[in-house]
Amino acid sequence: MSAGNRTAERPGPAAEERVADPPAGTFRNGGRFALLLGAGGVLLLLLSVAVAVTTGPARISVPDVWSAVTAHLGFGDSGLSPIRDGIIWDLRMPRTILAAVCGAGLALCGTVMQSLLRNPLADPFVLGVSSGASTGAVVVVVLGVGGGAVSLSAGAFVGALCSFALMLLLSHTLGGSTDRVVLSGVAAMQLFSALTSFVVMTSADAEQTRGVLFWLLGSLSGVGWSEVVLCSAVLAGCLVISLAYARTLDSFAFGQEAAAALGVNVARTRLVLLCTTALLTAALVSAAGAIGFVGLVLPHAARALIGSGHRRLLPVTALAGAVFLVWADTLARTVLDPQEVPVGVVTALIGVPAFVLILYRTRSTP
């Protein structure tokens, strides 16, 4: 059958299966490799968390970490002093776990958005969610909106949702195509960035400006278990939704028209997944600030390892993002000790050369 006839003919269910699935042998080999890679990623993540918790000015050993964790889970007494127990359980452990959650969530959002929008430069902040969260945080901290009853994280979350709502309104008004979604996100991002700058320049003192700038660059300092629980729950829900749409995301690789021909409701799928990524990004940004390049670089690296099948790509990318941000945050808090570097600065310093390398290696790919 010629290419023209294949284009004209509407594929049935059998054709959809042929497009969505690789050859049987390839699937088995890829499945085994993905399973090994996933198991290795889990072990590497556990090792990274253990090393990160033991790294810092206070000398903590892995047995100390194990004793503190088991004691807080109700399995006996840790035998540690209150100070050492507090360092492990109240300071380092929630920060390290939240770093893993944020890395996994940002990488997951980047993977979904790059596939959904068919834009290799798309990342979790292309919808303007990060800028909206920044504005919400600045309004709470600098202007004192809420009279102290509203926290920085709550203000950031509300601002992120407002920015996303504006992006949806603009994209719907302009026609709702993929290009319009991206452009609407850029417009929302610029608007809320301008609002943030205006509030800081006109109302903030020097101390507030420094604190806001540090948070805007990404910071996991001072986080607690409440942020860990919230972000973990949101991540788990969004991962389940994304995996449920994995086969649909595969069909978007051939374009929206091809996806529609395969029976995909393009508008509904795009709305569900955009809302999912916006909700997850808002939750992560409200807890940790704006951390860039994780959602941009890690999906490309994972595709180079595992391919573009989303049932394997999504969990592998999430694991890669978790490991990456755990190590980035460990560097951020130790490399210039006792001074702390915003983790967003570390991710940018690592992410830019990595992204240039990825672009160089794929320069001949159409």
Q: What is the per-residue pLDDT across 300-326, written as a single tens digit (0 to 9) for each?
A: 889 888 888 899 999 999 999 999 999
Instruction: Evaluate whether residue 259 is within a structural domain.
Output: yes
- Confidence band, pLDDT 50/70/90 cuts, at residue 102: very high
Single-letter code of the amino acid located at 257:
E
pLDDT of 100 > 80? The answer is: yes
Instruction: Evaluate whether residue 152 is within a structural domain.
Output: yes
Least confident of 14-18, 155-159, 276-280: 14-18
Q: What is the per-residue pLDDT across 20-63, written as a single tens digit (0 to 9) for each?
A: 444 333 333 456 777 888 888 899 999 999 999 999 888 888 88
pLDDT of 299 > 80? The answer is: yes
Average pLDDT of the chain is 83
pLDDT of 17 > 50? The answer is: no
Q: Left, alpha or beta for 218 (phi > 0: left; psi -120 to 50: alpha)?
A: left
- Res 147: pLDDT: 62
Question: With 0-12 CB in 10 A as exposed, 13-18 as middle and 19+ as buried, what is 257?
Answer: exposed
Read off the pLDDT of each residue in 326-355 and give the average, rounded to a whole number: 89
Instruction: Evaluate whether residue 18 is within a structural domain.
Output: no
Q: Which residues of 323-361 are buried (b: 16+ CB within 10 A; e: fewer)?
A: bbbbbbbbbbbeeeeeebbbbbbbbbebbeebbeebeee
- Res 183: pLDDT: 85
Instruction: Please name which of 219, 159, 220 lies closest in space to residue 193, comparing C-alpha atoms.
Output: 159
Whichever domain contains 46, its CATH number is 1.10.3470.10
Instruction: Evaluate whether residue 204 is within a structural domain.
Output: yes
Single-letter code of the amino acid located at 113:
M
Instruction: Evaluate whether residue 198 is within a structural domain.
Output: yes
Read off the pLDDT of each residue in 161-178 and give the average, rounded to a whole number: 80
Task: Name residue, tokens 């994209």.
Answer: 171
Q: What is the per-residue pLDDT across 213-232, written as a single tens digit (0 to 9) for each?
A: 787 788 898 888 999 999 99
Domain count, the chain: 1
Measured CA to CA, the distance from residue 341 to residue 219 in angstroms comes to: 8
The most confident of the ranges 15-19, 30-34, 255-259, 292-296 is 292-296
- Res 149: pLDDT: 63
- Res 19: pLDDT: 37
Residue, of 362 and 129, whose pLDDT is higher = 129
Instruction: Evaluate whether residue 117 is within a structural domain.
Output: yes
Cβ atoms of residues 277 and 127 within 8 Å: yes
Read off the pLDDT of each residue in 156-161 and give the average, rounded to a whole number: 84
pLDDT of 12 > 50? The answer is: no
pLDDT of 88 > 50? The answer is: yes
- Res 144: pLDDT: 80
Q: Which residues of 78-101 are buried (b: 16+ CB within 10 A; e: fewer)?
A: bebeeebbebbbebbbbbbbbbbb
Instruction: Evaluate whether residue 114 is within a structural domain.
Output: yes
Residue 331 sits in which domain range? 38-361
Instruction: Evaluate whether residue 23 is within a structural domain.
Output: no
- Res 298: pLDDT: 92
- Confidence band, pLDDT 50/70/90 cuts, at residue 160: confident
- Res 30: pLDDT: 56
Tell me the percentage of the chain whose pLDDT exceeds 70: 88
Residue, of 271 and 361, whose pLDDT is higher = 271
- Res 32: pLDDT: 79
Cβ neighbours, 10 Å, residue 28: 11
